[in-house]
């Protein structure tokens, strides 16, 4: 049996039109002679699985305390409900379908509730129903321990379910369906010329994901790649081939290696950031003060980023929503910080930039040409980060995208 795994996010299920488009992709796969296995996320569960969920609101209205085990059990209902809706859609289009929970699909995990890891997959029930002619829909994001307790997989969970099922079923491919054409060189809402990458490496995906791009979860890619199952990110709305995820630096099944010479993969951004500048004096005293500042922030549980240690002062960023708390902690420790809230971090990501001269020069040139003030700039082997004011963010993304000719 030639399985293909198709994963749809909750946004693909919110109305009848979208569901029909998703169902058509599934039916097309069936009519090409494949056995489609469908993985769905909960409706209204986006990046953060706990953000928008009505089930969680239901309980948290009254109670703050809920054990992780029960939270996972509650959360698992979200994917069951959206899976049922997908089954109903397929049935109404004349294609018999069944829903399997993560447990029924044999997704066996450890017992780290809310971020469980898949230990193995026992897909006998998937195979059985598929052999009987059903389209099998699997509730993503969830599994079960060897003891029979229901778990959830945390961020990117449904992608991971799809990849793990792809491996267990030795699928022809795992297709992650989304509302854009694939993995994009930049957010198409900001950059009109943004285009889908034909091929992307695992490394590049990890870096893009880390810098705020909405791509497939790295864990899912890792699982699929270990067993050589092709994984693609594709659009529910078009027939374009989407972005193929491949191993680093190697041509995949005859595809020309277009990633080898690529300096920059994409431009990403994260807004809602506040920059802090704290004077610390010079010399040995300055080093002591540095330690005091960072220890005070660590004790207060404030996560900091974009750290620059300079002779007279330190620079760092925090998320806007902890800016006030950060000011208080610093003042209580005896400092008078300077703060700029409403900043954004714009990143140029590319595994290929390592050892290539002139990348930072290009970036600085592109931004200054547009009169964008660079508040801070750091770099690593694979990424250049620039801190700008929020109002300059879109302009900066567009300028960098153009500078590296990503739309061509």
Q: For binding to a second copy (CB under 8 A), which residues are involved?
A: 16, 19, 55, 58-59, 62-67, 69-70, 73-74, 77, 80-81, 84-85, 87-89, 91-92, 96-99, 101, 103-104, 125, 147-150
Binding site per annotation, positions for substrate: 52, 79
- Whole-angstrom distance, CA of residue 252 vs CA of residue 224: 14
- If the CB atoms of residues 55 and 322 are measured against a second copy, the closer one turns out to be 55
Instruction: Check if the beta carbon of residue 296 is closer than 8 Å to that of residue 333.
Output: yes
Binding site per annotation, positions for ATP: 7-10, 178-179, 189, 214-215
> At closest approach, how far in Å is the CB of 160 from a second copy?
22
Instruction: Check if the beta carbon of residue 171 is closer than 8 Å to that of residue 224.
Output: no
- Whole-angstrom distance, CA of residue 312 vs CA of residue 352: 34
- Whole-angstrom distance, CA of residue 233 vs CA of residue 174: 9
Task: Give the relative orientation of helices 218-226 and 157-168 as an angle to the nearest 10 degrees.
Answer: 10
Binding site per annotation, positions: 7-10, 52, 79, 178-179, 189, 214-215
> At closest approach, how far in Å is the CB of 13 from a second copy?
10
Q: Tell which phi-psi region holds residue 179, choosing left (phi > 0), alpha (psi between -120 and 50) or beta.
A: alpha
- If the CB atoms of residues 91 and 247 are measured against a second copy, the closer one turns out to be 91
**DSSP H/E element including 37:** strand 35-40
> At closest approach, how far in Å is the CB of 60 from a second copy?
9
> At closest approach, how far in Å is the CB of 124 from a second copy?
10
- Whole-angstrom distance, CA of residue 65 vs CA of residue 249: 48
- If the CB atoms of residues 58 and 258 are measured against a second copy, the closer one turns out to be 58
- Whole-angstrom distance, CA of residue 14 vs CA of residue 366: 40
Strands ordered across the beta sheet of 118-121? 118-121, 107-109, 142-144, 150-152
> At closest approach, how far in Å is the CB of 134 from a second copy?
9
- If the CB atoms of residues 63 and 283 are measured against a second copy, the closer one turns out to be 63
- If the CB atoms of residues 103 and 180 are measured against a second copy, the closer one turns out to be 103
**DSSP H/E element including 388:** strand 383-389
> At closest approach, how far in Å is the CB of 18 from a second copy?
11
Instruction: Check if the beta carbon of residue 43 is closer than 8 Å to that of residue 14.
Output: yes
- If the CB atoms of residues 16 and 51 are measured against a second copy, the closer one turns out to be 16
- Whole-angstrom distance, CA of residue 103 vs CA of residue 138: 10
């Amino acid at each position: 049996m030639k399985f293909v795994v198709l994963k749809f996010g909750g946004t693909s299920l919110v109305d009848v039109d979208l569901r029909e488009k998703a169902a058509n992709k599934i039916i097309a796969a069936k009519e090409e002679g494949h056995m489609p296995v469908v993985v769905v996320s909960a409706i209204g569960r986006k990046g953060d699985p706990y953000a928008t969920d009505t089930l969680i609101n239901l309980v948290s209205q009254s109670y703050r305390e809920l054990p992780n085990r029960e939270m996972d059990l509650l959360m698992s209902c979200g994917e069951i409900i959206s899976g049922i809706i997908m089954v109903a859609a397929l049935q109404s289009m004349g294609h018999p379908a069944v829903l399997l929970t993560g447990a029924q699909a044999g997704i066996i995990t450890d017992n780290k509730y809310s971020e469980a890891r898949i230990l193995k997959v026992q897909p006998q029930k998937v195979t059985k129903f598929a052999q009987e002619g059903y389209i099998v829909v699997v509730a993503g994001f969830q599994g079960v321990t060897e003891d029979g307790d229901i778990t959830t997989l945390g961020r990117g969970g449904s992608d991971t379910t799809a990849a793990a099922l792809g491996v267990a079923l030795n699928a022809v491919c795992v297709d992650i369906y989304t509302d854009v054409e694939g993995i994009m060189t930049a957010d198409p809402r900001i950059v009109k010329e943004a285009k889908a990458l034909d091929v992307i490496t695992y490394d590049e995906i990890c870096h893009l994901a880390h810098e705020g791009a909405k791509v497939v979860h790295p864990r899912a890619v890792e699982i699929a790649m270990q067993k050589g199952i092709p994984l693609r990110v594709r659009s529910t709305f078009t027939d374009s081939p989407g972005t193929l995820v491949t191993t680093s630096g190697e041509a995949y099944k005859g595809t020309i290696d277009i990633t080898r010479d690529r300096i920059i993969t994409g431009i990403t951004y994260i807004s809602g950031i506040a920059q802090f500048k704290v004077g610390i004096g010079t010399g040995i005293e300055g080093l002591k003060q540095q330690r005091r500042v960072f220890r005070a922030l660590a004790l207060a549980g404030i996560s900091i980023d974009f750290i620059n240690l300079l002779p007279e002062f330190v620079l760092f960023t925090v998320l806007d929503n902890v800016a006030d708390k950060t000011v208080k902690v610093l003042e209580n420790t005896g400092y008078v910080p300077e703060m700029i809230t409403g900043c954004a971090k714009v990143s140029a990501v590319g595994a290929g930039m390592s050892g290539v001269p002139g990348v930072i020069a290009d970036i600085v040139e592109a931004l200054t040409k547009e009169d964008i003030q660079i508040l801070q700039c750091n770099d690593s082997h694979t990424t250049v980060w620039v801190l700008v004011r929020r109002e300059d963010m879109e302009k900066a993304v567009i300028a960098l995208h153009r500078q590296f000719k990503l739309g061509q």
